[in-house]
Amino acid sequence: MHLMLWRPMRRFPPERIVCLTEETVETLYLLGEQDRIVGVSGYAVRPPQVRREKPRVSAFTSADIPKILALAPDLVLTFSDLQAGIVSDLIRAGIAVHAFNHRDVAGILAMIRTVGALVDARDKAEALALGYENRLARVAAQARGQARLRVYFEEWDEPLISGIGWVCDLIDIAGGNDVFPNLARQPAAKDRIVAPEAVLEAAPEVILASWCGKKVVPSRIAGRSGWSAIPAVVNGRIVEIKSPLILQPGPAALTDGLDAILQALGHPLLDDDPYPLTPALGIAAAPWRLTERHRTQLLKVPDEGWIEGTRLDARSLEVLVRRGWIRRAHADPLGRARRDGYQRTEAARLALGITTAPP
């Protein structure tokens, strides 16, 4: 019986994946690799169809180990030291586990690329991450012309816990100043506990709150002793951001979470968002819009073999490489080294709408 539970990851890419947190679920859907998912966290709500498509096998700090084992996963994806006990149980049962432990925006982007590598979808993951990087850069550039307001982010109310690293990063990108930036670099919530007096002294102009899934009550925040003097309370700028948008370190935070911060600060959203959501699917569209100029250049590049970079428009070549649509071809069909050759990636095929596999 116990021998049958021993399932090291013998297949690559893994065909049966269990995700014990939300962000890896959403990432796999965005990569078009959702068919590999056989079990998810009960907190997974993005995209909406995940709740009806995938069985739930865990909360956050607890999991139904027998149910997970019954799904015979090739790989289980987890997050942080808070799931260390679950990881230990799964490893003892012979299950392959990858534990993420990122706490900032750079870590979110690395997670996306790592998930792509784990399912052999590197090109798609690179294009996805580059799309987010471009979006973040554009938001930051646009925010430079806005007033930088002091922001207090409250992750929990009893005791008061300030925002984690990626939240601090997003506040900065959106054009605000986190009033507790040093605490944001502490990975453990217990190390981000703040005294009410410290918030009063920081005098935030905006208070953002997301109580780990619990409903935020602005009147309770405003009614704390002495807080009536805080500018955010005086001006009624206490804003709840739903936890699935901001407290999962994944795509949601980089899109809807960031937009919620922008709106709370009174800063404009991007006029021409390079990474719009697709409401009908509940998932993101391709991160880049393909211009006619780039399409023309991209159609010159083969899926197999190579084309010399000198045959492409120099400006377009730079863009196509940066967006992950083409990559260097290190050898021609005869095996000869090519330092100036390029070929199309899977991300380019998706952008062009090519659905058939290359011969």
Q: What is the DSSP string of 181-236?
A: TTGGG--SGGGGB--HHHHHHH--SEEEE-BTTBPP-HHHHHTSTTGGGSHHHHTT
Question: What's the predicted TM-score (pTM) here?
Answer: 0.78
CA 195 – CA 258 distance, rounded (Å)? 26
Question: And the tokens for 15?
Answer: 């065909």
pLDDT tens for each residue of 206-256: 999 999 989 999 999 999 999 999 999 999 999 999 999 999 999 999 999
Whether residue 359 lies inside any domain: the answer is no
What's the CATH code of the domain at 249? Answer: 3.40.50.1980
CA 72 – CA 350 distance, rounded (Å)? 31
Residues sharing a CB contact under 8 Å with residue 173, sequence separation 6 or more, in sequence order: 105, 136, 139, 140, 143, 258
Question: And the tokens for 203?
Answer: 């005098």
Q: Are residues 50 and 162 in the same domain?
A: no
- Single out the residue in 265, 280, 310 at which a domain terminates: 265
Q: Are residues 246 and 317 in the same domain?
A: no
The range of the structural domain enclosing residue 302 comes to 292-352
Whether residue 106 lies inside any domain: the answer is no
- Single out the residue in 70, 86, 101 at which a domain terminates: 101
Q: Where are the beta strands (DSSP E) in the chain?
A: 17-19, 37-41, 56-58, 75-79, 97-100, 149-157, 160-162, 176-178, 206-209, 238-240, 277-278, 283-284, 307-308, 326-328, 341-344
Whether residue 131 lies inside any domain: the answer is no
- Identify the bridge partners of residue 119 per DSSP, sorted by sequence position: none
pLDDT tens for each residue of 304-346: 777 887 788 877 776 777 666 787 765 544 445 445 678 887 6
User: How does residue 68 score in pLDDT terms, banded at 50, 70 and 90?
Assistant: very high
CA 199 – CA 216 distance, rounded (Å)? 17
Whether residue 166 lies inside any domain: the answer is yes
What is the secondary structure of 235-265 as a DSSP string? TT-EEE--HHHHSSTTHHIIIIIHHHHHHHH
Whether residue 275 lies inside any domain: the answer is no
Question: And the tokens for 251?
Answer: 């795509």
Whether residue 112 lies inside any domain: the answer is no
pLDDT tens for each residue of 277-313: 433 334 444 445 567 888 888 888 887 777 887 788 8
Q: Are residues 153 and 242 in the same domain?
A: yes
56-58 and 307-308 strand pairing = unpaired
Q: Scanning the structure block, which residue is given the tokens 């990569």? A: 31
Q: How many domains does the chain have?
A: 3
Q: Are residues 260 and 298 in the same domain?
A: no
Whether residue 81 lies inside any domain: the answer is yes
User: Above pLDDT 70, what percent of the chain?
Assistant: 84
Closest CA to 358 of 297, 280, 284, 304: 304
